[in-house]
Amino acid sequence: GAGVSQSPSNKVTEKGKDVELRCDPISGHTALYWYRQRLGQGLEFLIYFQGNSAPDKSGLPSDRFSAERTGESVSTLTIQRTQQEDSAVYLCASSSPGPVGAFFGQGTRLTVV
């Protein structure tokens, strides 16, 4: 596709449920990032995939959070046993090896009730 695509765009879930968020990067982009943005806050780094290298998971806030990416394609961010504090917009971005920065999707707005 032309840009980074994220689904769903909105998700309301009950506390304690698991959720899966999906990101389709721009074709050919080897790097993929996940960020969390709480209301009125900046972007909090979660995880970074670069090609076939081991992902940088240093930003995952707890073991309830995990992410996978197969090759240079789709990535899934999973949050288990969701808590109200997980409510935020989850943003995915991808970039090519060139020095042009990352391109973001529109985000998934997660609300835990």
Partner 1 sequence: QKEVEQDPGPLSVPEGAIVSLNCTYSNSAFQYFMWYRQYSRKGPELLMYTYSSGNKEDGRFTAQVDKSSKYISLFIRDSQPSDSATYLCAMIHGSGNTGKLIFGQGTTLQVKP
- Determine, following the binding rule CB under 8 A, whether residue 23 of this chain makes contact with partner 1: no
CB closer to partner 1 out of 22 and 80: 22
Q: Which of 31, 64, 74, 80 binds partner 1 (CB under 8 A)?
A: 31
**Which one of the spans 20-28, 31-39, 60-68, 69-77 is the region binding partner 1 (CB under 8 A)?**
31-39
CB 95: neighbour CB atoms within 10 A?
20
Residue placing its CB nearer to partner 1 in the complex, 1 or 99 = 99
Does 101 participate in binding partner 1 (rule CB under 8 A)?
yes
Alpha-carbon distances of 1 from 5, 29, 51, 75, 110, rounded to whole Å: 8, 12, 19, 15, 24
> What's the one-letter identity of residue 5?
S
